[in-house]
Amino acid sequence: MIHILVVEDDEKLNRIVCTYLNDSGFQAKGCPGAQEAYEEMYNQLYDLIISDIMMPGIDGFEFARTVRKVNQRIPILFMSARDDLPSKQKGFQLGIDDYMVKPVDLDELVLRVRALLRRANIELERKITVGNLMLDADGMSAEVDGEEISLTTREFNIIFKLLSYPKKTFSRAQLMDEFWELDSEAGLRAVDVYMTKLRNKLSGCNGFKVVTVRGLGYKAVLQ
């Protein structure tokens, strides 16, 4: 199942878009603003984000900027009443992938969503197999030599992220930003605790190792 996060402060429009996406075979979840979206992303891996720009508190531009700091690949589609070129330029410069002007045609929205997912090859990236470890993002499950091992949601998200970008070093702050409150000293220390637990649980795995990069953070190295 493809999971889509819809960030839109217009409650009626949010509900309409989510319902249409769900009826089109996706699993859509609506959030009224960026802060709620951050909370939702702490506990669920999403495959695509649809976001408004003009929202109270954190606007769509700042939301997209934050998402791009920790995830360079997830497709982001802006859905906004702003039809001016500077807004579109700013969005694309921040790394969004598509831009639709309200009122949106829902059939066209679904077509664009499918195109973005195809481009990102999301359907092919929901499972990762490295050595004797298999991660299934749909089932949030992990198996070693065919035997399921117990990982918490945060543990799963961390190892899935590391193995999705082998050799890429993620700072503690980058790992924390995706799953904990931003700028939290406790969160930074919690990353180290989770990494210790992960290494213990994955001690029977072959084909990769999680390496501490002194002064920077962590990375997965394929063997």
Q: What pLDDT score was predicted for residue 70?
A: 76
Q: Are 54 and 102 in contact (CB under 8 A)?
A: no
Is-contact 100 112, C-beta < 8 A?
A: yes
Helix-, strand-, coil-residue percentages of the chain, each rounded to 5: 45, 25, 30
- The pLDDT assigned to 12 comes to 97
- What is the reported pTM? 0.59
CA nearest neighbour of 13 among 27, 31, 1, 25? 31
Q: Residue 108: CB partners within 8 Å, gap ≥ 6?
A: 100
User: What residues of the chain score a pLDDT lower than 70?
Assistant: 121-125, 176-188
Q: Which domains does the chain have, with CATH numbers?
A: 3-124 (3.40.50.2300), 127-222 (1.10.10.10)
What are 149-208's pLDDT values in tens digits?
999 888 898 898 888 777 778 888 777 655 555 445 556 677 888 899 999 999 999 989
Instruction: Give the pLDDT confidence score for residue 47 in this predicted structure.
Output: 92
